[in-house]
Structure 1
Amino acid sequence: MKKQIITFTAVAALSVGLASQASANSSYKVESGDTLWSISQERNVSVDQLKGWNGLSSDIIYPNQELEVAGQEKQQQAAEKSSYIVQSGDTLFKIAQAHGISLDALMSWNGITGHWIYPGDKLVVKGGTPISVPTPVESAAPAEKVEKAAAPAQKAAAPAKKAAVTKASAEPVSGKEMTVTATAYTAFCAGCSGITATGQDLRSNPNQKVIAVDPTVIPLGSKVWVEGYGTAIAGDTGGAIKGNKIDLFIPSQDAAINFGRKTVKIKILK
């Protein structure tokens, strides 16, 4: 795949914001000298609509009176313009691009930490508020607490054994080990086709874990465990990827830039 190598390499909160904004735009405080007709001209509605929305039987209004000037239908339309229903074949990047926002903003407004979306999901695409996602508690913590609480030496040995098993599951024990220099790239950049050297479409499937490699060092198609990244497929190449170097595919361009250059351990599993 021809690409540019980058070597420097949640909805509840939004609902409150949309509700307050819609409320401000849909109500009007009557001022001295106002008439239903003047208000209707300013808000591009009819006098009959104003009377209907506010239950008025006459044209008489009073200063400081709060009037409904948009109606529920218009408020609903405004809310709908601020959200999007995911369709089959959509990706977060395509949705962000279609609505003129960044991928990071779209994910932040909807409390998304991965890249999985499903048809029928309702996403905030305008005027969102970042949603803080709690960091998961590490599963090793309870075992460590048990180990400290156990007084006899025999009891302390059991949690230690369990911790060793947990570490082994996080780092595969089989395969050829190497230390390599890692950078990151994205398929969503100017001049990037999104198609890897092995034919994978990264733009349509941004959740894939793919690395670019030097095929003389790591055969294309190999399954490779990468420290801090997980198990990936060696599915791409790059002009600057020679020797003990790899390039990690990351969907977000900002995240790819912030990755920088790191030294990591890898294991070629097969």
Structure 2
Amino acid sequence: MKKIVASFATGMIIAGTAATTVSAEEYDVKNGDNLWNIANEYNTTVEHLVEVNELKTTTIQPKQTLIINKQAKMKYKVQKGDTLSVIANKYGVSVENLKEWNKLDSDLIIVGQNLTIEGATVSNDKPAETEEQPQAQPAVPTKKEQQPVTETKAPVQEQQATPASSKPAASQKAPEKASEQQSQQEKPQGQSFSVTATAYTASCNGCSGVTATGVDLNKDPNAKVIAVDPSVIPLGSKVYVEGYGYATAADTGGAIKGNKIDVHVPSKGEATNWGVRTVNVTIVE
């Protein structure tokens, strides 16, 4: 049984910006339930359910109440200087999720726009300025503000996604946007569930470059291969990974247990850029 529990405070000021908590989500365990089925139903992971409910084991009992999300949804009002990347980093979510939750076709947002954030976790960053403009304006820094940003770690990609005045910036973004549109148009059929995804490469010290099923990644560094827990995704399965594409479950790993996967990429730099993500996986065949 799914329950939505009203939060104690309906409005709060977080990191100097206006954010409103909407609801928290709980679930009453029924006969025949297990953590795997509940995790799949709510698009989360067993590890997340164990952590938020402080469970000692994965055994659950009927009529037990489980927390699905301590903070299910939040409303965020866009401030001057915000980008989707800045907001995603602040609340521990991805840009792709922000666009999906708010049905955004591009990375463009405007001052005063309200965004829905699901399952947000607030970072301890220094509070930002909260001054708002009387009229809605694109949340894009001016040229004077952009110049020092190139020396920081702020994602340049998100700034380039806004309307640019130079042709080179638009041409660099075009392949990525086309790839995103193609990915959105593809709707693979099969069993889908949420996993935690990391990335690895065969070009590392001490790595053989040969997968558990015999695929030589040194000979084909661009091979679309993922490492899986065979008890969750059988070896040899054809899968579709959100943000990665179609791949083959052809490898395993000591740390790959439960709803976790490791995607193969050609270089260490790409593996670092991938980081740790929560994505949907569809077993196609």
How would you bin the TM-score normalised by the shorter chain?
Answer: 0.3 to 0.5
Hey, which of these two has a bigger chunk of strand by percent? Answer: 2
Higher CA-based Rg: 1
TM-score, scaled relative to structure 2: 0.37
